Amino acid sequence: MRFTTKLVSLASVIVAATAGRHVTATPASVASIMSTDEIYHWLDTIDTANVTFIGKPIDRDAPLSAEDIMVFYCSQRSGNDCVAPCTVYVGGATCLYAPNTNCLGASANVDFCDGSGCSGSCNQLATCGVRMNLGFCYTPGTNSIIVPPS
């Protein structure tokens, strides 16, 4: 009985202390999908001599096709920045061979995997644990990237 009385008293104190307060949930921080402006800004600031472009060519004068996704993945990280050497892919659904990738960004939610051939343990960009500048995600151990159908 004594325990029950103390428990009820403790519960009353907690309720009284929080009465009148509004509690709102704060969403967890997730990696953002890169906008076209962010993509072009990153391309303007990186040394493109150390960037390999694969897939379709980038045309700044035309919007990205609805079927295409841009993916940027680099083997180097400097502080909170993803830096060259990097690879830029523009195209549709595929599995990208991406050994030694340490950070990536994309115009849509992609999966990054520790196995080659888009196998092994995979995670979504939207659930990135360590966000970097410009919507990039720190992804050490990545060896392949799943580009989903858009």
For residue 81, which of 143, 140, 40, 138 has the smallest C-alpha distance? 138
Residues in the chain: 150
For residue 104, which of 27, 28, 32 has the smallest C-alpha distance? 32
pLDDT band for 12, please (50, 70, 90 cuts).
Answer: very low
Q: Model pTM?
A: 0.77
Q: Give a three-class secondary structure readout of 72-121.
A: EEEEEEECCEEEEEEEEEEECCEEEEEEEEEEEEECCCCEEECCCCCCCC
Query: Which tokens belong to 129?
Result: 């644990």
At CA 99, angle to CA 121 and CA 34, rounded to 5? Answer: 80
Q: What are the tens digits of pLDDT across the range 118-141?
A: 999 999 999 999 999 988 999 999
Please state the rounded mean pLDDT for residues 107-111: 95
User: What CATH number matches the domain at 26-147, 3.30.479.30, 3.50.30.60, 3.40.50.720, 2.60.20.10?
Assistant: 2.60.20.10
pLDDT of residue 108 exceeding 90: yes
Provide the residue ranges of all domains of the chain, joining segments of one domain with +. 26-147
pLDDT of residue 9 exceeding 60: no
Poorest-confidence range of 20-24, 64-68, 86-90?
20-24
Query: Greater confidence, 138 or 11?
Result: 138
pLDDT of residue 58 exceeding 50: yes
Q: What are the tens digits of pLDDT across the range 13-44?
A: 333 443 443 333 334 434 568 888 888 898 99
pLDDT band for 101, please (50, 70, 90 cuts).
Answer: very high
